Structure 1
């Protein structure tokens, strides 16, 4: 089976030097010269005759703790036709519910529950209801305040979405968070659709309740399965990316399940992990060159 290894670093901290490329090439049974996808940032190595995990471990040993992500996969079918992505701490830097809690001076209290849920230590659905209950009475206008002053897009996210769409892929944003945020973030990044929970409101204030059923781990997996059916795609043609325990089901179903700067349990279960790169790492993973990126 023809395989390809990819080394990727963060564009803000380039670490895939010519020296590293030469060293990596000497450790693999290459079938072609290395391909530089982006100078000092990412490179591909086509090879055969070595087991994927053996090759991956050889490259990890070579990197020896340097800020470089390693992917090894079959050459065939690298460019996927569907991206399904988590939002909080994946496509944006923050957890939206924690930032809403900050408006009430409750960020530390709520973020502790959020962290435990994302680690998989407590069930997602009751943890969400518990946190939303603490938001009772918060003016709905606070959502716009949080969006405009606290929420930051994860670097590389718009480039990832736009490049995949330009190459015929469909992109879905799925979140255990809230539609108030997914609608805005999806529009900014260019996602084709978004799905999340709805915060209930009355007289301009949050009621402390969320619409039922809560959309969490199972809903994310279900939407991926539906999209595969709707678009006549196999799992091998899909990428799922997320960071928390409620992303595990869709990560496990997708052909390429990617843990993005994820909790330990998620990183351990995913097919691939991005610990250093920004979201353009998912494009290098698919074999895109930097010159092919959409900058719109």
Structure 2
């Protein structure tokens, strides 16, 4: 059996009883529904079939409201391992772009970042090119950037803390830098973080990043390693990201979710979030609103 989890856009309640009743009647194969959180999130249950077809049928019946749909096998929905990208996923910014702003190069660096995240240029050389432009930036600005410019994506802390409270392991796996992932992962509540190391001398960036670079392959390797460490089946894993360097990780996860993602990533992922906040991934696992650990 398949379950289709429907989640309203952040801050909205779009899934009332009348809407659910209409979907149960209109969508072929749907056998019933269940409320997860008021009019914010609900499940539709369907006989076994093709997930993308069920999603398309539900979308056609819905019309065009701001509702995300995550379809997966019902028996495999609860996850025990969660890996997440950081920049533009767990936070609303790209940290390297904010560092570049300090030296007046944000527009230049942001353009390179965008091309890399779209998969138009390889991640590793793009990272080295951008880091070289940061030569001379004092590491002391990182605390200021985190305090003044970085915003956590709504629902992220609830997602991580609820999964951990229910026995899951969580890892922030980023192509960014440890100076950011350390404090940000601690604030959100992750078990661990993995990312790249900026090289500095006397507290000043020298424009280099330490080898090996954590990119697309390293994200995939992290998922495989942690899955093996905890003796999990692939179906017990969840990953989320927005860029081309997340694609392998998303493809390997039992449920790989694209978050406000670049077109190629959204097309390839098992599911995508375009409207709801990150708590949608709790509803997708069958958690109700009452079970969410509020940050």
Cα distance, 1:49 vs structure 2: 5.7
Within the alignment, does 1:101 sit opposite 2:107 as a pair? no
String of CA shifts for 1:211-232, please: whole Å, max 9, x gaps. Answer: 0111100000001000011110
Post-superposition, which runs of at least 4 consecutive aligned residues in structure 1 deviate over 6 A?
Answer: none
Give me the CA root mean square deviation.
1.2
Structure 2 equivalent of residue 124 of structure 1: 123
TM-score, normalized by length of structure 2? 0.97
- Shifted more, 141-150 versus 64-73: the winner is 64-73
Whether 2:239 is the aligned partner of 1:255: answer no
The Cα of 1:152 is off from its aligned counterpart by 0.5
1:13 shift after superposition:
2.3
Question: CA deviation digits over 1:48-83, x for unaligned, max 9?
Answer: 165433321111112222110112211102110000
Tell me the matched-pair count.
294
Query: CA 1:200–1:50 in 2, change beyond 3 Å: closer, same or farther?
Result: closer
Gaps of 5+ in 2: none
Deviations 1:181-201 (A, max 9, x none): 000111001100100000000
Q: For residue 29 of structure 2, what is the aligned residue in structure 1?
A: 29
CA distance in 2, matches of 1:16, 1:105: 45
CA distance in structure 2 between the partners assigned to 1:173 and 1:53 by the alignment: 28
The 5 A counterparts of 1:199-218 are: 199-218=198-217
Deviations 1:167-192 (A, max 9, x none): 11000000000000000111001100
Q: 3-state DSSP class of the match of 1:90? A: helix
**Which region of structure 1 is more displaced relative to structure 2, 272-281 or 7-16?**
7-16
CA contact (8 A) 2:172 2:194 kept: yes
Displacement of 1:10? 2.3
Q: 1:289 to 1:28 in 2, by over 3 A?
A: farther
Q: Which residue of 2 aligns with 1:234?
A: 233
Number of the residue aligned with 1:195: 194
Ranges in structure 1 where 5+ consecutive residues have no aligned partner: none
Task: State the 1:130 CA deviation.
Answer: 0.4
The 3-state SS of whatever aligns with 2:110 is helix
TM superposition shift of 1:18: 2.5
TM-score by length of 1: 0.97
